[in-house]
C-alpha cells in the first residue's frame, strides 16, 4: 500500500553513479557531465524522487523555512495574512509552516506552538496574535529573526509590521466628527484582550475628546463571552437618547451591533451610526456597507516576510518597526446625525 520512499542512493544506483553526483546534478551545481546530468534527472523523475528536506536541513544547516504562528486561522483576518506570507515566502525562495494554539487560546498552548516551530528549525518566526505578550516571544526572538505582524510593538529586539492603530482610530473618529456627531459611544477593550483593539479604541476616544465630542466609553469585557451581551450594550446606548454614533473595535463586533439593532427593528445609520475596523473580506461586502478602516493585510504580509528574510540573508542590519497606512472605507452604516434626528 505505502511504497517506501526512494532516497538519493536509489537514484544513484539507477543512474550508475555515486550519490555525490546525484546531489550535484539535482541541485544544479556545476561539474557534472551533460550526459550524466540528463541521465540522473531522468532516473530521479522515473522514481518520483523528492529530496528529504529534513536531511538537507541537517547537512546544510539551512531549512529555508519560515515559521508562522497564528492565533486563529479561522478568522479571515489571519487567513489573508497567511496567504500573503505564503506568496512572498515562495517568491523569496522560502517555505512556510504554520502552527496555532489548537483551539483554546491559552498562553501555554501558544508557547507550545512556538516550540513546535523551533523544533522544526525554522529560520525565522512570524508571529500573528493580538494577545500573546511580547515577553513570551522574546526568548525565541533571541534565537532567530522574528517579526510581529499585524500589531504594533516597540521592543527593540523584535521587528514589527502593522497598520498604524492610532492613525486608524483617529481617521474614523474624524470621519464621525466631520459627519457632525457630538456625542459618541466607543466600545473599548483592555490590552490583555487585544493589544490592537485596545490601541485603536483608545485612539478613537482621545481624538473624539480633543475634538470636543462627548464620549461614552463602554468596556467590552463586561459583556461576557465573545459577542454576547451586545444586546444590552446596544440597548443602553439607545436608552441614553443622546448618543448618535457607536464605534466598534472591529468589523466583527460591528456586525454584532448591527444584528442587535436589527432585532429591535432598527438600522444604521437611521437609528444609530455604526463603525467597524479591519475592512477585510468578507466583511467589507457592499451588502453590509460597514463604515470601517481597511488594513492592507497583503502589504503587511509581504513586508513581514521581507523583513525576516532580509535579516536571514544578512541584507538587513537589525530589527525594524514598520507602520503602514490604512484607509477609510466610508460605507453606509455611518451618516450625518441631523438627517435622521427628526425621526427619533
Partner DNA sequence: TTGTACGCGTTATCAA
Partner DNA sequence: TTGATAACGCGTACAA
Distance CA 342, CA 191 (A): 39
Q: If binding is defined by CB under 8 A, does position 138 make contact with its own copies?
A: no
Provide, rounded to whole angstroms, the least separation between the CB of residue 126 and its own copies: 14
Q: With the CA atoms of 52, 310, 196 and 273 taken in that order, what torsion angle do they form, in degrees rounded to the nearest 10? A: -100
Q: If binding is defined by CB under 8 A, does position 328 make contact with its own copies?
A: no
User: Quick one: cell of 198?
Assistant: 485596545
Closest to 275 in 3D by CA, of 151, 183, 176:
176
Q: Which of 7, 252, 316, 336 binds its own copies (CB under 8 A)?
A: 252
Cβ-based burial of 102 (10 A; exposed 0-12, middle 13-18, buried ≥19): exposed
Provide, rounded to whole angstroms, the least separation between the CB of residue 208 and its own copies: 26
Number of chain residues interacting with its own copies (CB under 8 A): 61
Closest to 328 in 3D by CA, of 164, 160, 83, 84:
164
CB contact at 8 A, 163 and 149: no
Site for DNA in 169-208 (CB under 7 A): none
End-to-end Cα separation, the chain, in angstroms: 72
Alpha helices (H) along the chain: 8-15, 19-27, 34-47, 53-60, 76-91, 107-119, 134-141, 165-179, 195-210, 230-240, 251-263, 297-312, 337-341
Closest to 336 in 3D by CA, of 269, 247, 261:
269
Residue tagged 504594533 (cell numbers): 152
Q: With the CA atoms of 46, 1, 52 and 49 taken in that order, what torsion angle do they form, in degrees rounded to the nearest 10? A: 0
Q: For residues 93 and 241, which CB has a smaller minimum distance to its own copies in the complex?
A: 93
Residue 106's binding partner among DNA, its own copies, none (Cβ under 5 to 8 angstroms by kind) is none
Q: Which of 20, 27, 83, 242 binds its own copies (CB under 8 A)?
A: 83
Q: If binding is defined by CB under 8 A, does position 232 make contact with its own copies?
A: no
Site for DNA in 54-73 (CB under 7 A): 55-56, 58-61
Dihedral class, residue 327 (left if φ above 0, else alpha if ψ from -120 to 50, else beta)? beta
Q: If binding is defined by CB under 8 A, does position 87 make contact with its own copies?
A: yes
Site for DNA in 21-50 (CB under 7 A): 21, 23-24, 26-27, 29-33, 35-36, 49
Residue 199's binding partner among its own copies, DNA, none (Cβ under 5 to 8 angstroms by kind) is none
Q: For residues 36 and 166, which CB has a smaller minimum distance to DNA in the complex?
A: 36
User: Quick one: cell of 40?
Assistant: 540522473
Listed ranges 36-44, 45-53, 192-200, 229-237: which one lies at the site for its own copies (CB under 8 A): 45-53
User: Quick one: cell of 155?
Assistant: 521592543
- Binding letters toward its own copies, positions 153-192, x by CB under 8 A: ----------------------------------------
Q: For residues 87 and 271, which CB has a smaller minimum distance to its own copies in the complex?
A: 87
Listed ranges 10-18, 184-192, 259-267, 311-319: which one lies at the site for DNA (CB under 7 A): 10-18
CB contact at 8 A, 341 and 181: no
Q: Which of 288, 308, 322, 329 binds its own copies (CB under 8 A)?
A: 288
Which residues make up the interface to its own copies (CB under 8 A)? 1-3, 5, 48, 50-55, 57-58, 63, 72-76, 78-80, 82-83, 86-87, 90-91, 95-100, 102-103, 115-116, 118-121, 139, 142-145, 252, 255, 258-259, 262-263, 281-283, 285-288, 318
Amino acid at each position: 500500500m505505502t511504497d517506501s520512499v526512494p532516497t538519493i542512493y536509489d537514484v544513484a544506483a539507477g543512474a550508475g553513479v555515486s550519490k555525490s553526483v546525484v546531489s550535484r546534478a539535482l541541485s544544479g551545481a556545476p561539474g557534472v557531465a551533460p550526459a550524466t546530468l540528463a541521465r540522473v534527472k531522468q532516473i530521479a523523475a522515473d522514481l518520483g524522487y523528492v529530496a528529504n528536506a529534513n536531511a538537507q536541513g541537517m547537512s546544510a544547516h539551512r531549512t529555508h523555512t519560515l515559521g508562522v504562528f497564528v492565533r486563529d486561522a479561522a478568522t479571515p483576518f489571519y487567513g489573508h495574512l497567511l496567504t500573503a506570507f505564503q506568496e512572498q515566502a515562495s517568491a523569496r525562495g522560502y517555505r512556510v509552516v504554520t502552527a496555532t494554539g489548537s483551539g483554546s487560546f491559552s498562553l501555554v498552548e501558544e508557547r507550545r506552538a512556538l516550540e513546535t516551530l523551533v523544533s522544526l528549525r525554522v529560520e525565522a518566526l512570524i508571529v500573528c496574535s493580538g494577545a500573546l505578550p511580547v515577553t513570551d516571544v522574546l526568548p525565541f526572538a533571541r534565537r532567530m529573526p522574528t517579526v510581529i505582524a499585524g500589531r504594533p510593538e516597540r521592543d527593540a529586539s523584535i521587528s514589527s509590521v502593522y497598520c498604524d492603530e492610532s492613525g486608524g482610530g483617529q481617521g474614523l473618529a474624524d470621519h464621525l466628527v466631520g459627519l457632525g456627531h457630538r456625542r459618541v459611544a466607543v466600545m473599548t477593550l483592555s490590552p490583555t484582550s487585544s493589544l490592537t483593539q485596545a490601541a485603536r479604541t483608545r485612539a478613537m476616544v482621545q481624538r473624539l475628546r480633543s475634538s470636543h465630542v462627548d464620549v461614552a466609553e463602554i468596556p467590552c469585557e463586561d459583556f461576557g463571552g465573545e459577542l454576547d451581551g451586545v444586546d444590552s450594550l446596544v440597548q443602553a446606548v439607545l436608552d441614553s437618547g443622546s448618543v448618535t454614533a457607536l464605534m466598534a473595535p472591529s468589523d466583527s463586533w460591528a456586525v454584532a451591533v448591527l444584528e442587535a439593532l436589527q432585532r429591535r427593528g432598527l438600522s444604521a445609520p437611521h437609528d444609530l451610526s455604526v463603525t467597524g475596523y479591519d475592512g477585510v473580506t468578507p466583511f467589507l461586502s457592499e451588502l453590509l456597507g460597514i463604515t470601517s478602516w481597511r488594513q492592507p493585510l497583503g502589504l503587511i504580509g509581504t513586508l513581514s516576510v521581507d523583513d525576516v528574510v532580509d535579516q536571514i540573508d544578512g541584507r538587513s542590519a537589525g530589527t525594524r518597526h514598520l507602520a503602514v497606512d490604512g484607509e477609510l472605507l466610508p460605507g453606509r452604516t455611518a451618516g450625518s446625525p441631523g438627517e435622521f434626528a427628526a425621526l427619533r
